[in-house]
Copies of this chain bind each other. A is one copy, B any other.
Amino acid sequence: MSKAVPVDGEVDGEVVSATGVPTASAAAELPTAVTGQGVQSVDRALGILEVLARTGEAGVTEIAAELGVHKSTAFRLVATLEAHRLVEQTVDRGRYRLGVGILRLAGATTARLDLVQEARPICRQLAADTGETVNIAVLSESSALYLDQVAGSSALQPHNWVGQHIPLHATSNGKVLLSGLEESSLEAVLGTLATYTPHTITRRPLLREELERVRAQGYALAVDELEVGLTAVAAPVRNAHGDVVASMSVSGPSFRLTPERLAEVVRLVTEAAVEVSHRLGWGHR
C-alpha cells in the first residue's frame, strides 16, 4: 500500500469536482474518493468523517478497510476525532457515527450563510451569461420579497424590485417558492388570486397543476402573467435540508426571451440555482 512518494509531480491540486471521476493517480486502490496529498493522518481522519457521513454508522474494522489502513490506525484516528466530539460511539464497544461537534462547527459557519452574500457572484455571472436581469427572492408574509437584483447587459435598466413584495401566483419566482410549500401552508399564504393580465393564473386548481409542473421540471416559467411583454424563468435554491429557501430568476422582455432562447436560459438559471444551493450546504446524498 505504500504509495510512491519521493517525487511530487502534479502541482494542480484540483482533484475532486463533484461529478468528476478521480484522477488516475498511481496505485489508487482506495475506493473512497479521498484526496491523495496533504498531511497523511489528517487526510485519513477526514476520510473517516466522509465515510461516516455516507454510511451513517461504521465500526473500526469497516473504516479501516474503507481507508485501506490497519485497524489500530483507524482506531487511533477515530479516538482522536472522538476527543473533539466530531464522532461518537453508539454504545460502549460499539460502532461510530458523527457527533455533535460537527453541529457546533456548522453553527459557526451559519454566520456566512447570508443568502445574498453567497449568491451574488453567481447572480452576476448568470446576468453576464444571459444578458438579462437576475433576481433572488424569498417567501415573506404571503408574498415574494426580492432580496437582490443584478441588471443585465442591456442598456435599459428595468424596474428595481429589491425590497418589493410581489404576488406569488403571477411570477416565476413566486411559483417556485410556492412549489416548496406543503399543502397546508400553501392554503395559508394564498389569498385571492388577483388578475394582472389575461394570462394570469387566477383559478386555484390551475395553479396547483402549475405548481406540480414546477416541482416536476425543477423550474418555473411566467410569460405575460404579471405584465404583458414580461417573461421570467426561475429555479429553486435549497438549503442543507433540501427545503426551498429562495428562488433565483432571469427576466426580460418577451421579445428577447423567445421560446428557442428560453431553453438555454432555463439551463443556465437552474445550474446557477444548484450552485448557490451547494454553497448553502445542499447536495449530500
Residue numbers of A with Cβ under 8 A of B are 1-5, 7-11, 13-15, 33-39, 41-43, 45-46, 49-50, 52-54, 56-57, 76-77, 79-81, 83-84, 86, 97-100, 102-117, 120-121, 124-125, 128, 138-142, 145-149, 153-155, 157, 160-165, 182, 184-185, 188-189, 240-241, 278-285
Instruction: Note all chain B residues with C-beta closer than 8 A to A86.
Output: 46
Contact, CB under 8 Å: A163 / B5: yes
Contact, CB under 8 Å: A46 / B80: yes
Contact, CB under 8 Å: A147 / B5: yes
Nearest CB on B from A2, distance (A) = 5
Nearest CB on B from A7, distance (A) = 5
Contact, CB under 8 Å: A105 / B49: yes
The CA of A2 and the CA of B120, in the complex, are separated in Å by 11
Contact, CB under 8 Å: A108 / B281: no
Contact, CB under 8 Å: A109 / B98: yes
Point out the residue from B38, B115, B124 that lies within 8 Å of A79, measured CB to CB: B38
Contact, CB under 8 Å: A281 / B10: no
